[in-house]
Amino acid sequence: MDICVCGTQVPFTQGGAELHLANLVTALREAGHRVEPVVLPTAWDRDRILDAAAAWRLVPLDFDLAITLNFPSYFARHPRKVAWVLHQHRGAYDGLGQPWSDFGLDDTSLAVHAELVAWDTAALGEAERRYANSGVVAARLARYNGLDAEPLYHPPPLADRIHEGAFGDEVLCITRLEGNKRPDLFVEAMGLASGNARGVLMGRGSFAPQLEHRIAELAAAGLGRPIEMTGFVPDDDLVARLATARAVVYSPFDEDYGYATLQAFLAGKPVITTPDSGGVLEWVEHEVTGLVTDGTPQAMADAIDRLAADADLAAELGAAGRARAAKLSWAAVVETLVGPTG
């Protein structure tokens, strides 16, 4: 089949959605299809968000099948549109009134929210079939738009390269340094930890300066355990550090999916998280594949110290996580998305 995969690009930004699109294109091509990625630049601010959606309605798509991914690509028009929803515009949905969103509770924000919900419901309702990145994303679609979607899970980036290794003393936090990802929780937890763990904060984002300042404050006061900020980490380095880590901390707010969780599991490492981390909890089961804390820095510190002191427990939890993540397959994803006539 001739297939287009529709996605969006925030200029000069590279993250999970961009990797997801690239991996899906590769998997479809390996299955024998002719595939083109169709990507439009978009803006996420409230005042231009409807413009980004409207732009997709004008794009001619001369393909047998259109697979749409993140907002606003699912506004594309095609007689055979399959929506695999990575996420909607979260700032306008569950982000209403949150400090990390420019959608407040003022009249203008609520009016744009209402219009976007109506637009989303119509555009996604056009789809021949609907899938969601996770159960959390499917639940949001049902709650806000009254639409059903089947969760469709997929391997994380670098799945074919990540491997197990010895359990060292590094506890990794792999995330974008933004408010909804809550990297500050990891920093505060390391400031309370008393064991042998060494913290490594991997990623970049707008919160980097204040996190760097806070880490310096903790170090100057002689509190907690040391934290290294790496910024962007090349793939080879990420694979190597996952292999020798003790555990991974991943505690975003109501995450859509969470690649860091699955990457940790493929490396045989347990994940420490919180009870409001969303899609992360579809994989992290307390005392089985990781530790689910109460979300406070002290509880997170206690979990870090516990795994730092007990390599056997870390290995047991990590092995259970690896067994779950190893079942994921891009071939199964392609078969589902293309359908029996593909």
Instruction: Say if 131 falls within a structural domain.
Output: yes
> Both 140 and 188 in a single domain?
no
Residue 10: per-residue pLDDT: 77
Domain boundaries, position 293: 170-325
Burial class (CB in 10 A: 0-12, 13-18, 19+), 106: exposed
Residue 342: per-residue pLDDT: 54
Instruction: Say if 212 falls within a structural domain.
Output: yes
Residue 14: per-residue pLDDT: 67
> Both 123 and 28 in a single domain?
yes
Instruction: Say if 198 falls within a structural domain.
Output: yes
> Both 24 and 144 in a single domain?
yes
Residue 60 maps to which CATH number? 3.40.50.2000
CB atoms within 10 A of CB 6: 27
Could you list the mean pLDDT of each consecutive 10-residue stretch along the chain, which spans 342 residues? 92 76 94 95 88 93 95 95 92 86 92 94 96 93 96 93 96 93 96 94 94 94 91 95 98 90 97 96 97 97 97 97 95 91 57
> Both 51 and 14 in a single domain?
yes
> Both 204 and 246 in a single domain?
yes
Residue 271: per-residue pLDDT: 98
3-state DSSP assignment of residue 332: helix
Which two three-digit tokens encode residue 25?
A: 């294109």
For residue 9, which amino acid is it? Q
> Both 207 and 137 in a single domain?
no
Instruction: Say if 141 falls within a structural domain.
Output: yes
Tell me the Cα Rg of the chain.
Answer: 20
The whole-angstrom separation of Cα 101 and Cα 90 is 8
Instruction: Say if 270 falls within a structural domain.
Output: yes
> Both 19 and 120 in a single domain?
yes
Instruction: Say if 158 falls within a structural domain.
Output: no
Q: How many domains does the chain have?
A: 2
- Sign for the CA dihedral angle at 339, 22, 208, 230 comes to positive
> Both 95 and 178 in a single domain?
no
Instruction: Say if 336 falls within a structural domain.
Output: no
